[in-house]
Structure 1
């Protein structure tokens, strides 16, 4: 007995059933989550958020390590250590989220951040401290605006929630960087 026609008939019938009724099954079971392992499941705007934030986190980590090595001020060195720890945590959480969504996740800091790092590497002592902290104030101002926009206007609920959850820590980083900047420029001294 030739089983090939029977197998073909079964495959054809199951394919037609899936095409005809698959969407109805999915709609009648809203808790079922379709898995698409190779497709990016975030829109372009959310993907841009992931890319910018990941590159920013990687840059904060690299620049924080640079501050640990080159800073003259213990306050700046400690801030650098904090940036390494906090932004490593941010990046791991974001990478996990991006992986769940099938989104692209960058592995480098990007051109602009490379330029900033190169400029900071040329400095040392008090000059490094001032330039690094000035950069941290500028970066965190940009980051806060980016996270706020995502938390209010992002399409992906998980990314919106992640941005909202981490916004207070970025605001704390900014307050700390401004305080250090004031101390370095003498505005914080009495």
Structure 2
């Protein structure tokens, strides 16, 4: 049993060595970025379920930042990826999240007047953008798609949690309206990731 375990460890070490770059600092940075992206998904899900889904102001802030992140990530993907499917997904995301952002800006002043719409990313999502920019060309598609699945799951938690918020019917209707598009983005990204 110990020999089998040792053989498995040796195999993993060899595979890891094969996939490492020539600069150990690049490998360390990639590992830190991947961990940061993974933690961001868990933090985002909790935040979307608790803060964003409970108040109009929280929803407006969360949706605006989510849309901003999606638009910036799509721009990076359209520049860095050489995969046609990524370009197609990023284009769809740009179109749909631009529309979502525009509708939010028209509804929010009426239903969440005390909440200014953010104009910059929060620190967590800025970290995701930084990780996309830092991703090596060979890793970019996987990093982008992994982020997209997590980000769209977070958005769905937010939207599903707010769609029945009857105190703000316009925002609730917006949440309901965009759920199918966000679901389609997430499913598209997941299919591409599964095919890698």
TM-score (norm: length of structure 2): 0.68
Partner SS state of residue 152, structure 1: coil
Q: 1:126/1:152 Cα in 2 relative to 1: closer, same or farther (>3 Å)?
A: farther
Higher RCO (CA < 8 A, seq sep 6+): 2
Bigger Cα Rg: 1
Where does structure 2 lack aligned partners over 5 or more consecutive residues?
1-53
| Structure 1 segment 21-170 matched on structure 2, within 5 A | 45-101=55-111, 102=113, 103-153=115-165, 155-170=167-182
Select the structure that is richer in helix: 2
The secondary structure found in structure 2 opposite 1:125 is coil
Aligned-residue offset at 1:154: 5.7
Within 2, Cα distance between the matches of 1:61 and 1:147? 18
For 1:10-50, what per-residue CA distance to the aligned partner results, in whole angstroms no more than 9, with x for missing partners? xxxxxxxxxxxxxxxxxxxxxxxxxxxxxxxxxx7110010
* Change in CA separation of 1:153 and 1:100 when aligned onto 2, cut-off 3 Å: closer
Structure 1 unaligned regions, length at least 5: 1-43, 186-190
**Deviation digits for residues 83-108 of structure 1, max 9, x if unmatched?**
11111111011011112332421111
- How many residues in Structure 1 have an aligned counterpart in Structure 2? 141
Alpha carbons of structure 1 residues 72 and 120: separation in structure 2 relative to 1, 3 Å: same
CA shift digits 1:91-148 (9 cap, x unpaired): 0110111123324211112111101101110113230100000000000011111100
